[in-house]
Amino acid sequence: MTVPILQARSLAKSFHAIGGDLPAVAQMSFSVSPGEFLCIVGPSGCGKTTLLQMLAGLSPPSAGDVLLDGKTLAEPQRDISVVFQKPNLMPWRTVLENVLLPMQIFGLPYRRAEEKARLMLDKVGLEQFVDAYPNALSGGMEQRVAIARALVQNPRILLLDEPFGSLDALTREKLNLELLKLWRDQNITAVMVTHNIREAALMADRVLVLSPRPASISAEIPVNLPRPRVEDIEYTKAFTDLTFTIRKEIRD
Ligand SMILES: Nc1ncnc2c1ncn2[C@@H]1O[C@H](COP(=O)(O)OP(=O)(O)OP(=O)(O)O)[C@@H](O)[C@H]1O
Ligand SMILES: [Mg+2]
């Protein structure tokens, strides 16, 4: 059995609210294997972002803990990068300068950092836009910059919070496949939260289905579709059967 890279152990979180505590995540335990692509799907408002922020070390759990390589995670780590729902680019910095930001925070020498940032921008197909400002980019391009920024520090784990939620279906599918290629090439472990069932089926090795708030795991569905996943996979019977199974688990 492989040793998990990331683990949630009886993880729970409540927020203080007027009129009492508001439970967002209830008693969740699961493991992520090195190199796995795990998708987490759940209804709107069930606690997905809250869960991801705990996995990133950005938000302390109310109970339980998150383990990275078997050790309790107490704060954000260089090994873990996050891509948020909104790209959160700094409008006054160019594309290259936005991607350089984590490297500057980690204090890498500028020349080496710039080399890595340019390489990452090549990989996400933005080599022509290194000197552009975010206001000159489309939504899909902004998300590509956010992905390059997350990957530039060579994380071992990439956490994604509905990164393509605001994009049209075609752009989304294109970025899904690009992300799968990066995941494979860079040899990373990915945990992606989404409420899009097709997206989860297309990307994942395994899907966790969450209950309505407070989120708990209501089903775990292995995905045995062949890799590399290609566009037309969505028209196969195996894919349709899988999305049906996930949808049914969410409904029940
Ligand atoms: N910082 C906070 N303070 C108080 N309550 C919060 C906070 N963050 C989230 N919540 C509450 O926790 C619950 C879960 O929120 P969360 O954002 O995790 O859900 P989600 O599944 O990501 O939703 P969505 O599908 O809309 O992205 C919600 O009821 C929300 O109001
Ligand atoms: Mg959310």
Residue 1 has pLDDT above 80, yes or no: no
Per-residue pLDDT reduced to its tens digit, 90-137: 999 999 999 999 888 888 888 888 999 999 999 999 999 999 999 999
| Separation of alpha carbons 177 and 191, rounded Å | 15
Count Cβ atoms below 10 Å from residue 110 Cβ, excluding itself: 10
CA nearest ligand 1 atom 1, residue: 15
Residues with CB under 6 A from ligand 1: 15, 22, 24, 42, 44-50, 195, 213
Closest CA to 209 of 171, 236, 249, 251: 249
Identify the band that residue 166 occupies on the pLDDT scale cut at 50, 70 and 90.
confident
Q: The tokens 């279906």 sit on which residue?
A: 169
| Separation of alpha carbons 147 and 117, rounded Å | 11
Q: Which ligand 1 atom minimizes the distance to the CA of 195? A: 25
- Ligand 1 centre from 120 Cα, in Å? 32
Query: pTM of this prediction?
Result: 0.95
| Residues with CB in 5 Å of ion ligand 2 | 48-49
Domains and their CATH numbers in the chain: 6-79+156-251 (3.40.50.300), 89-154 (no CATH)
Quick one: which ligand is closest to 40's CA?
A: 1
